[in-house]
Structure 1
Amino acid sequence: MAGTRGGSTAQHRTAEALRLFAVSKTYGEASTQVTALDNVSLTLPSGTFTAVMGPSGSGKSTLLQCAAGLDRPTRGHVLVAGAEMTGDDETALTKFRREHVGFIFQHFNLLPTLTVLQNVMLPMRLARRKVDRAYCETILQRVGLSGRLDHLPAELSGGQQQRVAIARTLVSRPSVIFADEPTGALDTRSAREVLALLQEAVRTFGQTVVMVTHDPVAASYADAVLFLADGRIVGRMTHPTAEAVAERMTHLGDAVAERHAIAVV
């Protein structure tokens, strides 16, 4: 399906979906300055599912925001599908995000007055692209919502609404999909269905997914997990299990707490 209809605007696939080179992000000035990201470099191949984890304040949300173009790094470079994310103004940056980046958030951000199908077609309309209704319907069928096309978001469960949000992202064929705690508002069963759907987006549609999560079970659905602490990447795990991720997070949290205690002393 990855090479079928709906791919005219997007984006020629490259072997490298995302690269961060020496990215730093600081807030404040002088004595009040806080370093949220500290010289972070990473490369993610296309067609992979990566989870990002770390203790509170580790920089994982800042990493996602800088990588996705929602915030500008203080220093360093971000490349998506081989193209540097630049822009002298917000209009240029918005255009770049619309062409290359997809988002899935904890809150579904569906328009309540639009039907399921209308919500999914919306990105095409906003980009002033020809709307391929058949392709949108095919994606909705693949996410299990073929019988809900004319329903409003309020008529759906939380899990179904998140599926609509995922379908809305998939129809644009972005170079990278960034998911910020996408299962945080869902019950366990719905969360697992959504995570399995993200796996399918990678394996069947060839998408690249970067997911920030605090949940070891959610992270276990990814191909690899990146661990952050104090704004730096401090570890990587491939073929993660929930148990192994939870153990690594426990040790990571203890180490961060110990460093902070030493700093206070």
Structure 2
Amino acid sequence: MNEAVRLESLYKTYDGGVTALDGVTATFAAGSFTAVMGPSGSGKSTLLHCAAGLDRPTGGRVFIGGTELTATTDTAMTKFRRDRVGFVFQDYNLLPSLTVEQNVLLPQRLAGRRADRRRSQDVLTRLGLGDRLHELPDRLSGGQRQRVAIARALVAEPAVVFADEPTGALDLRSAGEVLTLLRAAVHEHGRTVVMVTHDPVAAAYADSVLFLADGRLAGALSAPTAEAVAERLTHLGDLVAARPSGAVA
């Protein structure tokens, strides 16, 4: 299996002794779409942030494309993240004073690279925004803003795209459109997507689901349906209690 992301015995403890991740080991294959699910406080967003290099784990190692992210300095980690990682946030994280095209090109400019306007326009056109290049974000719907965020994540051709509740602020139709775009990025363009979500319907767009509870892995599900995901979520507490730390069903 060609690995896009590998997590080895990840621990994350915050001040006050709160453990958010408790020995998590997982692998995400290249060209796969994985949903990460669990109850509030289960550690899923912490896992995503540590895997993406937005936060450092207290212990353990993170590899992206075979390179150990956790072995680098903070400056090198930031550069690596800009070059190899895309991120999609629930609240879009678009700058309101920049146009659609300028928002998409911003990571390249921050990285000191020449902005590839032709590629950005091509990606935006494929996402149905070719006629909105010069619009400001406040002139767009929520679904359109999230498509801009996806374009920004994809334009640099990252090794992996991490998405943190990307449909949490969207209506059902817009959410379906965004999830279809993420799935197409995987199945038609070979990208790797790791998505945190609380929604079983959203998780059903993924190839597989990884479940977390109390900062520990609590099973996995291939070819998920919304019904199967919802059923599994109801039993996470029992699964965690029955397994040693870091084990996967």
What TM-score comes out, normalization by structure 2 length?
0.92
Please give the alpha-carbon distance, in whole angstroms, between the structure 1 residues aligned to 2:130 and 2:194: 27
Counterpart of 1:197 in structure 2 is 181
Partner deviation per Cα, 1:142-164 (whole Å, 9 max, x = no partner): 11111111111011000000000
Measure the CA separation in 2 of the matches of 1:255 and 1:83. 32
Matched, 1:174 2:158: yes
Moved more, 118-127 or 82-91: 82-91
Q: Please list, as runs of the form range in 1=range in 2, the aligned pairs for 1:8-47 lying within 5 A after superposition.
A: 15-28=2-15, 32-47=16-31
Q: Give the deviation of 1:211 after TM superposition.
A: 0.4
Match of 2:74 among 90, 108, 112: 90
Shift, 1:91, TM fit: 1.7
Q: Does the residue aligned with 2:219 lie in a helix, a strand or coil?
A: strand
Identity %: 66
Match of 1:231 in 2: 215
Cα separation, 1, equivalents of 2:71 and 2:238: 40
Residue in 2 that maps onto 1:118: 102
Identify the residue that residue 246 of structure 2 maps to in structure 1: none
Task: Work out the CA distance in 1 between the residues paired with 2:138 and 2:103.
Answer: 13
- Report the Cα distance in structure 2 between the residues aligned to 1:188 and 1:61, rounded to whole angstroms: 22
Question: Which 4+ residue blocks in structure 1 deviate beyond 3 angstroms?
Answer: 86-89, 253-257
179-188 or 57-66, which moves further after superposition? 57-66
Q: Distance in 1 between matches of 2:168 and 2:139?
A: 20
Shift of 1:34: 2.0
Q: Indicate the residue corresponding to 1:207 in structure 2.
A: 191
Q: Distance in 2 between matches of 1:216 and 1:255?
A: 18
Offset at 1:86? 3.2
Secondary structure in 1 matching 2:12: strand
Query: Number of paired residues?
Result: 242
Q: Determine which structure has more spread, i.e. the larger CA radius of gyration.
A: 1
1:139 equivalent in structure 2: 123
State how far apart, in whole Å, the 2-side matches of 1:155 and 1:21 are.
43
Partner residue in 1 for 2:34: 50
CA contact (8 A) 1:78 1:84 kept: yes
Tell me how far apart the structure 2 counterparts of residues 60 and 131 of structure 1 sit (CA, whole Å): 33
What is the deviation of 1:95? Answer: 0.7
User: How far does the alpha carbon of each residue in 1:126-148 deviate from its partner, in whole angstroms, 9 at most, with x for none?
Assistant: 11212221111110011111111
1:256 CA displacement: 7.0
Structure 2 unaligned regions, length at least 5: 242-249
Which amino acid is the alignment partner of residue 26 of structure 1?
T
Please tell me whether the aligned partners of residues 163 and 195 of structure 2 are also in contact (alpha carbons under 8 angstroms): yes
1:82-128 Cα offsets, whole Å, 9 max, x none, are: 00003554322211111111110000111111111111111111112
Give the letter aligned to residue 102 of structure 1.
Answer: G
Pick which of 174-183 and 111-120 moved more.
Answer: 111-120
* One-letter identity of the residue aligned with 1:229: A
Instruction: Indicate if the aligned counterparts of 1:21 and 1:40 stay in contact, CA closer than 8 A.
Output: yes
Structure 1 runs not aligned, ≥5 long: 1-13, 258-265
Structure 2 letter corresponding to 1:25? K
